[in-house]
Chain A
Amino acid sequence: MTIMPSIKRDYIEKLAAEGKRADGRKFNEFRNIEIETGIVKKAEGSAKVKIGNTQVIAGIKMDVGEPYPDTPNEGVMSTAAEMIPMASPDFEAGPPRENAIELSRVVDRGIRESKVVEFEKLCIVPEEAIWIAFIDIHILDYDGNLFDAASLAALAALHTAKVPIERMKPVIEKLQEKYPEAKEYLNNHPEDYPIPMLDPPISCTSVKFNGAIVADPSLDEEEIAEARLTVATDQKGDIRAMQKGLNGNFTVDEIKKVIKDSIDNGKKIREQLYKSVGK
């Protein structure tokens, strides 16, 4: 494990007391964000996101499967984030640990519970066959703030993803033998088409250390953080998902401030997302 030198910690806290951050940013300022889509041809949708030096890649793969019994006419999604050893000298190979699991589930909820993907439109044969969307996120370079980078990459990938009618035609045609609805589905969707999406909520993360609250934490700021709060907000400024992490605490006022900053930053990031996916 890389140890944080005490004087570095002291220096960052001292700067924060003066209202400054080590990289010169304002407390509520994000680093430079870059979004690139369509980089993985094999995937139905893909995106690479950079926030500062943090780099994350997300890929969407789709398959035909059976619906969950409680949502018989809806497609399903599954999100997995991998903190692969490439991204940091401290990441080890092996099955996901709690950090990766928390990351996966928070990104997943941000998309699923906010009903961004119109799952009712991903039904092939009611009660029998639906589309499954696998969202796989790989962290490539870890320099702080994986939550926002991973969420953004997943959203950008979803926005540019196409339901793979052509590749999966043989599977759907086979379904026709048993279910006439499959034929109707193919008639209505003869070629690849974009995944039906609504306006996405944007995730913004802040951390607290020594009384200061900063948005889009750098690696060092994350190292010394006592508490972390991720807030996903939509276009109207409504709150769609939240997650508090680490063993420190927030006051109610601090939480409200983070929400306000997240709405402001979320707006800017959403604009950038739309630009990069051609919306």
Chain B
Amino acid sequence: MKSDVKLFENGKRLDGRKPDELRKIKIEVGVLHRADGSCYLEWGENKVLVAVYGPREAVPRHTQNPLRAIVNARYNMAAFSVDDRKRPGPDRRSREISKVISEALENTILVEKFPRASIDVNIEVINAEAGTRCAGLTAAAVALVDAGIPMKDIPVSCAAGKIENQVVLDLGKEEDNYGSADLPVAISPRTGEILLLQMDGHLTQAEFDQALDLAIKGCHTVSEIQKEAIMNKYASNKGGN
């Protein structure tokens, strides 16, 4: 989409970031009372809250898998989280995002330990500013750890994109609207395996390699932030007094 919006000014992006710089991320663990696990995450202006329930018996019964737990991630944007009020209820976009997030999370959860059960992950976007699915998945992973769910890794997500012929990390709002490619990615940081990958726009093969590499690097940086938040919550309860 052509526009007069200049996304680069003196080598800096609209919000002053360098091409490979992430927006500010803040993570709080265990913020809800009823949920088995929870996480509140701020990523730039994005605000996301996740609650995990489970493992618990899957209902209705016909959804039960006798060999493993099913992972239901439900991504939802609050009506007031966007510029033009969003009608409550899942739209097709939300349902697609729910699906790809469920699949990414499922990969890292040791689901065979809980046959016939479900692990329900509720992702609520309270304020949206580009990159909500990455924020949602990243927060969901922390909430799962907080719930004590056995996992072989803590998944993490980050996006890269292209604006004005330059590949950049973590698109902001205008960049998402006026840029020419968007590549959200989620990985299993221990192994480097890709758990979620979507792309739209236009990238040459070389640009794709660059963008993927950048997104993966971003994922690793965010992974450190996840782990630090978890340790801050739980390691500060250590004994020794």
Residues of A within 8 A of B (CB): 39-43, 46, 53, 55, 57, 59-61, 63, 80, 82, 84-89, 93, 95, 134, 136, 138, 140-143, 167
Contacts of B239 in A (CB 8 A): none
Give the distance to chain B from A151, nearest Cβ to Cβ, in Å.
17
Question: What are 16 pairs between A and B in contact, CB < 8 Å?
Answer: A40-B78, A40-B126, A41-B127, A42-B80, A42-B83, A42-B129, A53-B33, A59-B79, A61-B79, A61-B85, A85-B53, A85-B74, A89-B34, A134-B80, A136-B79, A136-B85
With A40-B81, A42-B80, A42-B127 given, is the CB distance from A88 to B34 under 8 Å?
Answer: yes
Closest to A48 in B: B126
Cβ–Cβ contact A59 & B78, under 8 A: yes
Whether B32 contacts A46 by the Cβ 8 Å rule is no
Among A41, A46, A141, the residue within 8 A (CB) of B34 is: A141
Q: Which residues of A are found within 8 Å of B49, using beta-carbon distances? A: 86, 140
Residues of A within 8 A of B151 (CB): none
Candidates B33, B50, B122, B127; contact of A40 at CB < 8 Å: B127
- Residues of chain B within 8 A (CB-CB) of A89 are 34, 53, 56
CA–CA, A87 and B49, complex, Å:
11
Pairwise interchain contact A136-B88, C-beta atoms closer than 8 A? yes
- Chain B residue nearest to A95 in the complex (CB): B89
* CB pair B34 A136 closer than 8 Å: no
Question: With a CB–CB cut-off of 8 A, which chain B residues contact A134?
Answer: 79-80, 85
Q: Is B231 interfacial (CB-CB < 8 Å)?
A: no
Q: How far is the CB of B13 from chain A (nearest CB, A)?
A: 19
Chain B residue nearest in CB terms to A52: B33
Give the docked Cα–Cα distance between A59 and B84 (Å): 12
State how many angstroms separate the Cβ of A150 from the closest Cβ of chain B.
14
* A43, B126: Cα distance in complex, Å: 10
